[in-house]
Amino acid sequence: MPAFSRFTPLIASLPSTVPFVGPEAIERQTGSPVRARIGANESGFGPAPSVIEAIGKAALETWKYADPENFELKQALAAHLGCKPENIAVGEGVDAILGLIVRMVIEPGAPVVNSFGGYPTFNYHVAGFGGRLVTVPYESDRENPAALLEATKRENAPLVYFANPDNPMGSWRSAAEVEAFAKAVPEDSLLVLDEAYIECAPEGTAPSIASLIDRPNVIRTRTFSKAYGLAGARVGYAIGAPETIKAFDKIRNHFGMARISVAAALAALKDQAYLASVLGKIEASRQRIGTIARANGFEPRPSATNFVAVDCGRDGDYARAIVTGLGEKGVFIRMPGVAPLNRCIRVSTGTEADMALLEETLPDVLKAL
């Protein structure tokens, strides 16, 4: 039977790909287990015991759909953030929310502004809905709000993406810089302010919720995947003006949230003491990664996330060889995808056992190179 031929021209033109190769795929390719999973910016410290308990209780009711209005979680998030439930949209991780945002705003051929080398999944959604990606370079390994703003105005772009803190470099801008940028974006351009790593960032990184909550052209995205240790649960949320947030209800998967995941997020939000302990572990692990990097002649970049970009001092081929060599020894890390950022490798924070394995294997990989 011949291949199915009635895909849309857009779908037919796209490559069959995923933004990231997962550690499971690496295990299948190498036939060896991943011993240190420090490449996907998950939290190796795991969720709180109180969250595990809540998951166990919710499992007994997993035969039920979750509340399609996400009422309880929106109430809890609003109380935590100091806004109203109508300022919150809940979705299956930030990645799903980004896809909905692109779908709401972008028609085929429309320009979308992002940093060159920025978060690939956002670009994946732009391509999937036929948008035309317009990129600006990083400035000293940090996203450049002034260049993003100039490109947005020049292209009359309906959508611009800015992550603070940034992935893949871990860099950040101050709350004052971010707020000024957000307020300078034209009213008919929608700013996606991705704050997936905001819990890991120093004080003074995030604008207050109140400062941007009434701006209809700003959507802030956050997640339980990083500091809260719930990457596998897929719980993200968007914060914005009520009329903008209401648009999600027109196209979201109303039964997309898993009941167990919602229970986990509610419990995680209540256990701020555990979150504080994890943030201390993340900071200690960042310091440990820096020590290991310097011991091998590399330079760690400043980070406000749960990972560290490590400058290897050469080019992308060299950094890629390090990623491959470590992978062959069971240490899973990643690297930025474009020059000049790809002179770096990117190492997620992890347990002391993870760090010890990195410290043990990295010199052997470099010697082999």
Predicted local confidence at residue 314, as pLDDT: 98
Report angle CA 197, 260, 167 to the nearest 5 degrees: 15
Predicted local confidence at residue 115, as pLDDT: 98
Predicted local confidence at residue 26, as pLDDT: 87
Predicted local confidence at residue 1, as pLDDT: 87
Predicted local confidence at residue 223, as pLDDT: 98
- pLDDT beneath 70: ranges in the chain: none
Element (H, E) at 163: strand 159-163
| Token pair for 308 | 């560290």
| Token pair for 304 | 């406000």
Predicted local confidence at residue 17, as pLDDT: 79
Q: Which residue has the tokens 């560290």?
A: 308
Domains and CATH numbers, the chain: 18-46+273-368 (3.90.1150.10), 49-270 (3.40.640.10)
Per-residue pLDDT tens over the stretch 184-226: 999 999 999 999 999 999 999 999 999 999 999 999 999 999 9
Calpha distance 247→244 (Å, rounded): 6
Q: Smallest Cα–Cα separation from 144: which of 106, 118, 110?
A: 118
Per-residue pLDDT tens over the stretch 274-328: 999 999 999 999 999 999 999 999 999 999 999 999 999 999 999 999 999 999 9
Predicted local confidence at residue 204, as pLDDT: 98
Element (H, E) at 311: strand 307-311
